[in-house]
Copies of this chain bind each other. A is one copy, B any other.
Amino acid sequence: MFFKINRNYFIEELSKCNKIVDYKSSVPSYTAIFIEVEVDKISLVSTNTSVSIKTSTFVNKEGLEIKEVGSFLIRGKNFIEILKRMDDEIISINKVEKNIITLSGENSEFLLNVLDENDFSQITFNETGEFFEIDTAEFKKGLNQTIISVNEWNQKIVLQGLNFLTEESIFYITGTDGYRVSRKKIVLDRSVDEKLSANVPFKSVFEIIKVLNDKNKTKIMIHDSLITIISNNTIIQSTLLEGQFPDVKGVFPTDFNSTIYVENKAFFKLISRADIPSEENTSTVVNFILDGETIIIKSNIQQIASFEEEFKNFELRGLDNQNIYFNSKFILESLKSFETKVVEISFIDSKTPIMIASSEDLSLSQIILPMFSN
């Protein structure tokens, strides 16, 4: 095995694969990057319990010259660190013995012991089949906006991740922990023939966000027990959670009694004050009182602190009387997921879920169940 490649590009591709490597794992496959050099391309592969990644580069791109095919298995972290300390634009990698490679620049040479390739279980990437395509930046934004409602350790396994669903030309991403629902709606370029549904594990969602590059489009393929995400030269493949994701449409209230329009940043800061910091780092119960032209926000942590503030800087449609209790963390995370200037918070009564939305961005809705008054 012998090839030459652009050093900075090689670092970038290795780093992508390295992001999902689990150095603490006792499974050898999960702790290293497998590099395969074929006649016309080089592929880097890594894997963990939920996700596998493969990134490929063809000859004559990024300085890639292949002189001899072959493969090797290496721990990514130190290998990347060594490459970073080099100065050369192009580096050569040459397998000189069964488990030894040389890494050379113009004036310097490293002799490196590599791992036993047989310790790496080969992975089949499912790259063909029906797919739909979305803008990568919008996809990543949607994942970040909905993952907030997912509890990785939920007792119901199907809720331990996000649900992806296509309905004709709409792609929904939904997360819920039973107390709140986050839903993102992305309009696709074309209608998807089949109604596709997949429950993507929490951990995989984070790996996808980390690895995907904002540029370019992303192709999504949903198979029986796998999802394949292809963006540029990178393939990410994740396992799926089994089970039927609840139909959350029924939870979305429609006829509200009161809607307040507030500046997102100001309202976020107000609720953050009510979320009194304490040693235990617990979230605070916040009492929201709408009384005519005033909103009163109250909270207290017994024996430590209490808080009260009046807020008048809002517009109101509907009833001017509400008295509701919330988990401060749920409201703060929901508000933070909106990049819009103004948000609309809609109420029915103290026992019915409230909805946070914004007419500046109709793709996102956040639903939160109130708490019992205490």
Contact = CB atoms under 8 A, between A and B. Distances in A.
Interface stretch (A151-159, A181-189, A301-309): A301-309
A111 B276 CA distance: 11
A87 B311 CA distance: 13
Given A269-B85, A272-B85, A273-B86, A308 B78 contact: no
A78 B109 contact: no
A108 B273 contact: yes
A310 interface: yes
A296 to B, nearest CB: 10
Interface of A: 75, 77-78, 81-82, 85-87, 107-113, 269, 272-273, 276-279, 303-311
Contact of A110 (B77, B107, B110, B305): B305
Closest 9 CB pairs of A and B: A108-B309, A81-B277, A78-B277, A85-B273, A111-B306, A112-B305, A85-B272, A107-B310, A110-B307
A306 B108 CA distance: 11
16 contacts: A78-B276, A81-B277, A82-B305, A85-B269, A85-B273, A107-B310, A107-B311, A108-B273, A108-B308, A108-B309, A108-B310, A110-B276, A110-B305, A111-B306, A113-B303, A113-B304
Contact of A82 (B109, B276, B303, B308): B276
Contacts of A276: 78, 82, 110
Contacts of A87: 269
A309 B305 CA distance: 63
Of the listed residues A85, A269, A306, the one surrounded by the most CB atoms of chain B closer than 10 A to its CB is: A85
A286 to B, nearest CB: 13
